[in-house]
């Protein structure tokens, strides 16, 4: 069974036992969280699509780690104008393991 969830402004297709990195959420490592924004639930050929959410569907997950992604380097330059700008960014993430998908 799989589900399409929405968290942090993004959508993820998740399956039981899968580990994914999502936008940072306020939760402690080892804590179990419940994601109730489920857009679709599928089981083989059967697909249940919500309008916009599937009523009563939830996904439970366990927080594995809190961390930061690798640095993304931003470099802006205007030729012949003596303008260069360097900047870096590291996005925070939460790594979770999907425990159960319930429709």
What's the pLDDT tens digit per position in 19-51? Answer: 999 999 999 999 999 999 999 999 989 999 999
Q: How many domains does the chain have?
A: 1
pTM summary value: 0.86
What pLDDT score does 35 carry? 96
Residue 85 tokens read as: 């700008």
75 lies in which domain range? 2-102
What pLDDT score does 80 carry? 98
Give the model's confidence band at 103: pLDDT under 50 very low, under 70 low, under 90 confident, else very high.
Answer: confident
Q: How far is CA 73 from CA 25, 76, 80, 103, in A?
A: 24, 10, 22, 42
d(CA 74, CA 66): 24
What pLDDT score does 60 carry? 97
Is residue 50 a contact partner of residue 58, using CB atoms and an 8 Å limit? no
């Amino acid at each position: 069974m799989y589900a399409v969830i929405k968290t942090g402004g993004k959508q993820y297709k998740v399956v039981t036992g899968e580990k994914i990195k999502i936008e940072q959420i306020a939760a402690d490592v080892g804590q179990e969280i419940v994601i109730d924004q489920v857009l679709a639930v599928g089981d083989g050929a059967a697909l249940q699509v919500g309008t916009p959410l599937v009523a009563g569907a939830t996904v439970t997950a366990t927080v594995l780690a809190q961390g930061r992604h690798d640095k993304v380097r931003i470099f802006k330059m205007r030729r012949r104008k003596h303008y260069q700008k360097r900047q870096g960014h590291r996005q925070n993430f939460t790594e979770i393991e999907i425990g159960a998908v319930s429709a």
